[in-house]
């Protein structure tokens, strides 16, 4: 029985080393080296080459090394009848919370504008913005959204969240389902997307949704590029309906050099780094699931095939 790490970036050796260090008894291979494919029972994947998983005839589990699993569902050739697991990790959640909080403050305190003014030697104090005057609306109150909501409440923001099923979080106003969306949007000043990318949520950040936000709202997308209709964001910014956006994720990554977001003064870009699985923090749960698979026990953090997350 063996585990293979399938990814196309430079982190493959780092993951292999972390797994081998934590569990020297487990046979771990990188997909880049020669390995006995029939021995592989678990594939630890991150944006693996589509179609590559069908090479493992005895695969019993596909484990995402991140929180998202959309890239696994998007691989139409991936085995369909085996469990998919994902990462649920306190460090991933706290890193996301830190990143989004930083983005909120950069916006609230006009830090980008002042930096821009500095380059032109412009002295132009803007109206002061205070935490208590802002309502943050979080699309998705799961592992990441719930911690962010709780932390923002502690900082002093008014916080509301939107999810499929009703959530109870202290001082967080909870909205659910399609019928709850208009009320949630109409009272959101800063919208944060932390939804999984599924057939229900693809393109959710579009004209229709932006129109329901108050004029001047700010949008932060740290979930997936597929949630956003890029042209609709550009239109809403041009019309001054939205005051700006911070984007960490894109349809195509890295973002195409010709994309208008790069040079847009109201768009803040980061390179899909809001929160990145830390091998030390995540490897124990991968090993636990590998051992569970070995001993026939149930796996942790299984994704629902019906919901797609
Ligand atoms: P979870 O599955 O824990 O939470 C998802 C939340 O979204 C849940 O509250 C769920 O509702 C809600 N939701 C899903 N579909 C709908 C829908 N159709 N309508 C309303 N609510 C919906 O995911 P995580 O919090 O762990 O992660 C969220 C996403 O963040 C990941 O899928 C990934 O794409 C992205 N991510 C981005 C990173 C980055 O660096 N930019 C890093 C890590 C993750 P309910 O609770 O009722 O099921
Ligand atoms: C994830 C991510 O899903 O890094 O974990 O985007």
For 49-97, write each residue's pLDDT tens digit. 999 999 999 999 999 999 999 999 999 999 999 999 999 999 999 999 9
**Tell me, what's the pLDDT at 74?**
98
Instruction: Report yes or no: 167 and 161 within 8 Å, Cβ to Cβ.
Output: yes
**Tell me, what's the pLDDT at 211?**
98
Instruction: Assess whether 272 carries a catalytic annotation.
Output: yes
Q: Which of 35, 241, 259, 272 is the catalytic position?
A: 272
- Residue 265 to residues 111, 116, 252, 269, 287, Cα–Cα distance (Å): 13, 9, 20, 10, 45
Q: Which of 7, 99, 224, 227 is the catalytic position?
A: 224
Closest ligand to C-alpha of residue 201 is: 1
Instruction: Assess whether 224 carries a catalytic annotation.
Output: yes
Q: By C-alpha distance, which of 258, 144, 229 is closest to 247?
A: 229
Indicate whether residue 201 lines ligand 2 (CB < 6 A): no
pTM above 0.95, yes or no: yes
How far apart are alpha carbons 91 and 169 in whole angstroms?
Answer: 20
**Backbone dihedral angles phi then psi of residue 28, each to the nearest 5 degrees:** -120, 130
**Tell me, what's the pLDDT at 309?**
98
Q: In what order do the strands lie in the sheet with 2-7?
A: 27-30, 2-7, 40-46, 61-64, 84-85
Q: Which two tokens stand for residue 303?
A: 């994704």
Q: What angle do CA 273, 201, 59 make, to 5 degrees?
A: 70
Q: By C-alpha distance, which of 174, 183, 186 is closest to 217?
A: 186
Indicate whether residue 309 lines ligand 1 (CB < 6 A): yes
Which residue's C-alpha comes closest to atom 5 of ligand 2?
A: 66
Q: Which two tokens stand for residue 132?
A: 């208590």
**Tell me, what's the pLDDT at 115?**
95
**Tell me, what's the pLDDT at 47?**
97
Q: Which two tokens stand for residue 86?
A: 């994902």
> Strand, coil or helix: what is 84?
strand
- 135 forms beta bridges with 158
How far apart are alpha carbons 264 and 227 in whole angstroms?
Answer: 19
- Residue 98 to residues 10, 34, 178, 248, Cα–Cα distance (Å): 25, 40, 29, 14
Q: Which two tokens stand for residue 113?
A: 């504008």
**Tell me, what's the pLDDT at 149?**
99
**Tell me, what's the pLDDT at 35?**
97
Which residue's C-alpha comes closest to atom 1 of ligand 1?
A: 142
How far apart are alpha carbons 91 and 174 in whole angstroms?
Answer: 24
Closest ligand to C-alpha of residue 275 is: 1
Q: Which two tokens stand for residue 109?
A: 């305190």
298: Cα within 13 Å, side-chain hemisphere: 4
Q: How many residues does the chain have?
A: 309
Instruction: Report yes or no: 149 and 169 within 8 Å, Cβ to Cβ.
Output: yes
Q: Output the CA 26–ligand 1 centroid distance in Å.
A: 31
Instruction: Report yes or no: 92 and 67 within 8 Å, Cβ to Cβ.
Output: yes
For the CA of 66, the nearest atom of ligand 2? 5
Residues of the chain by 3-state class (helix, strand, coil), percent to 5: 35, 20, 45
What residues of the chain score a pLDDT lower than 50?
A: none
Indicate whether residue 68 lines ligand 2 (CB < 6 A): yes
How far apart are alpha carbons 292 and 121 in whole angstroms?
Answer: 61
Indicate whether residue 226 lines ligand 1 (CB < 6 A): no
> Can you tell me which residue has the tokens 């944060």?
192
């Amino acid at each position: 029985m063996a585990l293979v790490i399938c990814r196309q970036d430079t982190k493959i050796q780092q993951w292999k080393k972390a797994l081998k260090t934590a569990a020297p008894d487990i046979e771990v291979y990188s997909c880049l080296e020669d390995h006995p494919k029939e021995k592989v029972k678990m594939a630890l994947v991150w944006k693996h080459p589509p179609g590559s998983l069908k090479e493992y005839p005895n695969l019993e589990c596909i484990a995402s090394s991140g929180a998202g699993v959309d890239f696994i569902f998007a691989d139409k050739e991936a085995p369909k009848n085996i469990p998919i697991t994902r990462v649920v990790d306190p460090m991933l959640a706290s890193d996301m919370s830190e990143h989004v909080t930083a983005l909120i403050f950069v916006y609230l305190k006009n830090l980008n504008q002042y930096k821009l003014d500095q380059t032109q030697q412009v002295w132009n104090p803007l109206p002061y913005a205070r935490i208590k005057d802002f309502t943050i609306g979080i699309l998705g109150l799961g592992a990441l959204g719930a911690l962010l909501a709780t932390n923002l409440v502690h900082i002093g923001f008014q916080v509301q969240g939107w999810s499929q099923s009703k959530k109870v979080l202290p001082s967080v106003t909870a909205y659910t389902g399609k019928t709850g969306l208009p009320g949630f949007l109409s009272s959101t000043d800063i919208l944060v997307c932390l939804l999984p990318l599924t057939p229900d949520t693809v393109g959710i950040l579009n004209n229709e949704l932006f129109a329901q936000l108050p004029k001047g709202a700010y949008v932060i997308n740290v979930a997936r590029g597929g949630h956003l209709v890029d042209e609709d964001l550009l239109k809403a910014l041009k019309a001054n309906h939205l005051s700006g956006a911070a984007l960490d994720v894109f349809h195509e990554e890295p973002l195409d050099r010709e994309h208008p977001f790069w040079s847009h003064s109201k768009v803040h870009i980061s390179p899909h780094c809001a929160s990145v699985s830390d091998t030390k923090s995540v490897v124990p749960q991968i090993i636990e699931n590998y051992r569970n698979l070995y001993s026939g026990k149930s796996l942790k953090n299984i994704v629902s095939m019906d919901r797609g997350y």
